């Protein structure tokens, strides 16, 4: 009897494996972008750096990220209150804002190409770093969009509610991380041109 009680207590303290994997992925992303931004600073200090202006489209991307983070938090709060229709509206809003973020990124890259700052076949290290950092972030956001679609489908099937919050809470955590990461990256790139 004592053993069974101890096992139950131990099991209650273990972290959910899916959450653990998400946190490992977030930690890996932090390390990836910390390495890239560190390499950026080292390379920039060597001189011969093209300090090109960042297109205004990336400011718009930042606004979209903040708005999408707000709508994602609204979705989580609505789920906790069992306000399913509001949660679905908030999830759809987040999805639309996330897609708009992606479009905004492509428009910003297109502006760079129009200025002659191409992604391929360039000897310009500053431009290469900019594309790599922003494109890698976009790939992470794309993964977040896929997770968001999955949560939206579960929500429509009524599998997300106040007694089943894991999917939406994990998606919210990841989405907020992507938002904070973008704000950091944008400020970093803007201030370290």
List the CATH number of the domain containing 99: 1.20.120.80
Per-residue confidence in pLDDT tens, the chain, 193 aa: 444 444 344 455 577 888 899 999 999 999 999 999 999 999 998 877 888 899 999 999 999 999 999 999 999 999 999 999 999 999 999 999 999 999 999 999 999 999 888 776 667 888 889 999 999 999 999 999 999 999 999 999 998 888 988 999 999 999 999 999 999 999 999 998 8
pTM for this predicted structure: 0.86
Q: Is residue 169 part of a domain?
A: yes
Structural domain range at position 177: 15-191
Q: Is residue 146 part of a domain?
A: yes
CA atoms of 76 and 59, how far apart (whole Å): 26
Number of domains in the chain: 1
Q: Is residue 43 part of a domain?
A: yes
Query: In sequence order, what DSSP letters do the residues of 108-157 get, joined into one string?
Result: HHHHHHHTT--SSS---HHHHHHHHHHHHHHHHHHHHHHHHHHHHHHHHT
First-to-last alpha carbon distance for the chain, in angstroms, is: 65
Q: Is residue 48 part of a domain?
A: yes
Q: Is residue 53 part of a domain?
A: yes
Q: Is residue 4 part of a domain?
A: no
Q: Is residue 8 part of a domain?
A: no
């Amino acid at each position: 009897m004592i053993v069974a009680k101890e096992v139950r207590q131990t099991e209650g303290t273990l972290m959910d494996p899916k959450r653990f994997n998400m946190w490992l992925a977030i930690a890996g992303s932090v390390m990836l972008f910390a390495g890239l931004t560190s390499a950026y600073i080292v390379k920039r200090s060597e001189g011969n750096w093209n300090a090109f202006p960042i297109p205004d489209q990336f400011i718009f991307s930042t606004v979209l990220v903040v708005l999408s983070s707000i709508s994602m938090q609204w979705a989580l709060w609505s789920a906790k209150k069992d306000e399913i229709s509001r949660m679905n509206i908030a999830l759809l809003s987040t999805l639309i804002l996330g897609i708009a973020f992606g479009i905004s990124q492509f428009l910003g890259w297109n502006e760079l190409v129009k200025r002659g700052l191409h992604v391929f076949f360039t000897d310009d290290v500053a431009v290469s770093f900019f594309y790599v950092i922003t494109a890698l972030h976009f790939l992470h956001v794309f993964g977040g969009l896929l997770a968001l679609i999955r949560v939206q489908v579960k929500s429509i099937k009524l599998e997300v509610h106040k007694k089943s919050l894991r999917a939406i809470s994990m998606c919210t955590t990841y989405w907020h991380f992507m938002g904070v990461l973008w704000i950091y990256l944008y400020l970093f790139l803007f201030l370290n041109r």
